[in-house]
Structure 1
Amino acid sequence: MSPIIIKTIQFFLSLSILIVLHELGHFIPAKYFKTRVEKFYLFFDVKFSLFKKKIGETEYGIGWLPLGGYVKISGMIDESMDKEAMAEEPKEWEFRSKPAWQRLIIMLGGVTVNFILAVIIFIGLAFAYGEQYVANDSLKDGIWVTDTTLGNALGVQTGDKILAVDGKRIEALNSIVPEVVYGEQITIERNGQKIEKEIPVDFIETISNNKENARFISQRSPFIIKGIPENSPNINTGFEKGDALVEIEGTAVEYLDQVSPLLEVNKGKTVNVVVERNGTTLPLLAKISDEGKVGVSLGFDSLEDYEKAGYFKVKQLDYTFLESIPAGWDKGVKTLTDYIKGMKKIFNPDTGAYKEVGGFAAIGGMFPDTWNWPQFWATTAFISIILAFMNILPIPALDGGHVMFLLYEMITGRKPSDKFLEYAQVTGFFILIALLLFANGNDVYKLIFK
């Protein structure tokens, strides 16, 4: 099956789950407070619906426009803009007739469910799979900066040890880049000295312009021969699996980042090398291709083999069910906190982060191109956090807009007029359309020009 089709199926499955549960977050408290719910829809049913069935007082259905979903609650100014119903005298089953605190709970239900859902998913992932990562502080000789453009922009180089971002110690190697993207200051150790560096304000833009190398910080890997293909120029020069290259033309080497420059200057040549095999050194002649390659596959068979060889430590965290609950909660809070940091960068034009705002194509691209349940659920949890945050923004037409007006009512004791709420709803609708066009326009621009 095509990777695009797999991504599309995952996108719509995830979106459907999140929309239905979000709307249930409104539906359940509404029913609990005896508020009539006229419609419950997955996707929007503009002009017509793909499916609908009325059960009791509520019509359940699936619309054709996959931009979200909704519950239509009686006596509430929402996207339906049902002015005729609002012109009538309030009924006891209507939203507008309920106490402000009940209306507030109904409006907060959706984002609450989104956040709780993300935490539940993170709990399940922690319990089922645990967590495995390379311990950042265990790197024997620091990091490998695989892209010097990004490394120079950040001010780090191969061999550095990255200690902290914004004063927070970095535990996992694979969390360095995400922390740097959201951070303001980086602490590194270079040649035994601790150095504090400001992260450039436009580093997000720099990394987005070089996306193919975005994961530019890695562990330093030794030149360990894993296999020798039959078409290798060195198939008969004496190399064996497990050999470690330790010298090229009299220059001591250990890591790939040390070997690559020497191969580059010796393209097309036969050079003297020394390998270490079973604790002893052995001189050999190696043929370097015109592309600067030795023609062998590299690396140990597993991360554990690197650990045994002393290059770094692999940390495996396994959780009991009870232990997975705080772990899932912490993951949910951190994901939300990081997303808020990212939003702050977006609203600062100097960062260039606004260029990375994406729409449906960007969200769909977050899913793996092969079916992988852990990645699917992790991505769904992340999107659920995004939906929770975006929906609580104080924009009319979003849950956060309704919450803002309800808090105003509860504090002042004065309820905004229906006419004002109608105008606010229309204004919020146009704001959302503008944001939607901007985000998806960014997707189209990247597709065409990048």
Structure 2
Amino acid sequence: MTVAIQIVQFVLIISILVILHELGHFLPAKYFKTKVEKFYLFFDVKFSLFKKKIGDTEYGIGWLPLGGYVKISGMIDESMDTEQMKQEPQPWEFRSKPAWQRLIIMTGGVIVNFLLAWGIYTVLLFSNGDSYIPSDNLKYGIVVDSIGEQLGLKTGDQILAVDDKKTKKFTDAKLDIILGDKITVNRDGEQLTFPLSDEGKETVFSTLGKNFLGYRSKAKIASVVDTMAAKKAGILVGDEILNVNGKEVIYWDQFTKIIKASPNKSLALQVQREGSIKELQLQVPEEGVIGVLPDTEDLWVTDEYGFFAAIPAGYNRTIQVLTDQIRQFKVIFNTKTGAYKQVKGPIGIVELMPETWNWLFFWNFMAMFSVWLAFLNILPIPALDGGHVMFLLYEMISGRKPSEKVLETGQIIGFVILMGLMAVVFGNDIWNIVKRFI
């Protein structure tokens, strides 16, 4: 059932994004009186799951869920309908329209993707605000595991800057570390600057970055699971752990480290509760999990936005997401980091979906993915929107149209490039699944 929920969330997100992207091409094409022969969600290779012709346009749903398309009359596209191009140009065809109109038609999908993300982020900021942990609010520093240590970090470090730039949010600091070249920290009162090694990043990517970096908090209890060991030991919400078996405990990571190292053992706890000291006896189960969570409320802040303030804030969030996505290419193309091995296709993305329906995740992911589609589609690769835009800009600057032979050749080259990239992406997905069983 959980897999079904993940698949439904992913397919719904992709369907909405594809339909809106193709509408971005369809609407200006119709406005400029250009004939649109097909409007499809997903690809209808050999056959379609559904189709219906309304006016000049056939609307349908294909069986191959790798995107969608509109087939515009008189245009060299992925259909490679060269027979049509041999006929005399007709006034309703794409090739007969002025270059500026064709440019608007081709950029329409990317513009819609960008505006959609901007709109979603605006509404989310207006309705929910922006909750985050400020990087400079981590008075106890960070927590790192062995992977974080490979990057040169140590538990207790306070992050001052990455690539000489201060980061407002802790979550952004994590991304900056993955994408950055050097980091400056305060370690035991001394300011240190050191490079972030490619070897360390390779380990981060190979383990999907799980828990390599966290924030340090006091050993104070925020919640207790009723059916687990902590409840049976008498631990209550609000308790602050002072020591375990006579060993002083200050931070949550110290407490959890002792618990994980003590399966099937009885531990003597000393806790502070409402100003008094309590002695408790805790029996740690075999799995080393006792059913408590730390109190981190004092670390979080929420920026609230009125509607008009949310509009520029939503725009800034969209630009930030776009910038981060562009920055990722630096580590993806650096073979030393191994990041290219973790590029995910549809199978991998489905696994990122939550196992229960989560509307906040749904809209955030849709906005992020909409920016990603806008960026990918505007790349100057023939067969993508950006490839058509590249040829149109050449025509507008030079005053000469590229020949149809050049356009056809470019379309074929672009198609081969895209198929090669898709093979790598799907290969990564399949290999990551196979590795689980090796």
State TM-score, norm by structure 2.
0.91
Query: Is the counterpart of residue 198 in structure 1 residue 195 in structure 2?
Result: yes
**Do the aligned partners of residues 372 and 233 (structure 1) sit closer, same or farther apart at CA in structure 2, a change above 3 Å counting?**
closer
Residue 216 of structure 1 corresponds to: 213
- Secondary structure, in 3 states, of the residue corresponding to 1:45? strand
Matched positions, count: 436
What residue is the counterpart of 1:363 in the other structure?
349
CA shift in 2, pair 1:214/1:362, >3 Å: farther
- Three-state SS of the structure 1 residue aligned to 2:270 is strand
SS in 2 for 1:48: strand
1:297 aligned residue: 292
Q: Which runs of 5+ in 1 are unaligned?
A: none
Using the TM superposition, give the Cα deviation of residue 230 of structure 1 relative to its aligned residue in structure 2, in angstroms: 7.0
AA aligned to 2:185 is I
Aligned to 1:322: 308
Per the TM alignment, residue 240 of structure 1 is displaced from its structure 2 partner at its CA by 5.2
Is the 2:43–2:63 contact (alpha carbons within 8 Å) kept by the matching residues of 1? yes
Q: Deviations for 1:118-165, whole angstroms, at most 9, x for unmatched residues?
A: 1111111111211112222222311222x2x21211211111111222
Match of 2:323 in 1: 337
Q: Could you list the runs of 5+ residues in structure 2 that have no partner in the other structure?
A: none
Q: Does 1:254 align with 2:250?
A: yes
**One-letter amino acid matched to 1:18:** L
Is the contact between residue 208 and residue 214 of structure 1 (CA under 8 Å) also seen in structure 2?
Answer: no
Distance in 1 (alpha carbons) for counterparts of 2:248 and 2:151 = 29
More divergent stretch after superposition (162-171 vs 440-449): 162-171
Letter in 1 for 2:373: L
- When structure 1 is superposed on structure 2, of 56-65 and 440-449 the one drifting more is 56-65
| CA spacing shift, 1:221–1:215, aligned 2, 3 Å | farther
Amino acid at match of 1:194: Q
| 1:141-290 map, 5 Å | 141-145=140-144, 147=145, 149-211=146-208, 213-214=210-211, 216-224=213-221, 226-227=223-224, 232=229, 235=232, 241-260=237-256, 273-282=269-278, 284=279, 286=281, 289=284
Cα distance, 1:291 vs. partner? 5.3
Partner of 1:85: 84
Counterparts of 2:289 and 2:125, CA distance in 1: 41
Would you say the 8 A contact 1:287–1:294 is kept in 2? no
Counterpart for residue 65 of structure 1 = 64
Counterpart-to-counterpart distance in 1, 2:22 and 2:61: 13
Q: Is the 8 A contact 1:233 1:294 kept in 2?
A: no
Task: Give the structure 1 partner of residue 73 of structure 2.
Answer: 74
Letter in structure 2 aligned against 1:278: E
Q: CA deviation at 1:445?
A: 0.2
- In structure 2, the CA distance between the partners of 1:246 and 1:57, relative to structure 1 (3 Å rule), is same
Give CA-to-partner distance per residue, 1:100-123, whole Å, 9 cap, x none.
222111111111111111111111
Whole-Å separation in 2 of the counterparts to 1:143 and 1:72:
53
The alpha carbon displacement at 1:402 in A equals 0.9
Matched with 2:378 is: 392
Once residues 265 and 366 of structure 2 are traced to their aligned partners in structure 1, the CA distance between those partners, rounded to angstroms, is: 51
For residues 294 and 35 of structure 1, the distance between their equivalents in structure 2, rounded to whole angstroms, comes to 64
Q: CA–CA distance in 2 between the matches of 1:233 and 1:135?
A: 31
Letter in 1 for 2:395: E
Residues 1:44 and 1:273: Cα distance change in structure 2 (over 3 Å):
closer
Residue identity matched to 2:216: Q
Aligned-residue CA RMSD in angstroms?
2.5
Aligned pairs (5 A) from 1:398-417: 398-417=384-403
CA contact 1:150–1:207 (8 Å) conserved in 2: yes
- CA distances 1:14-45 after superposition (whole Å, capped 9, x unpaired): 11111111111111111222221111111112
SS of the residue 1:365 aligns to: helix
Q: Which amino acid aligns with 1:431?
A: I
- Provide the secondary structure at the position in 1 that maps to 2:198: coil
Question: Structure 1-normalised TM-score?
Answer: 0.89
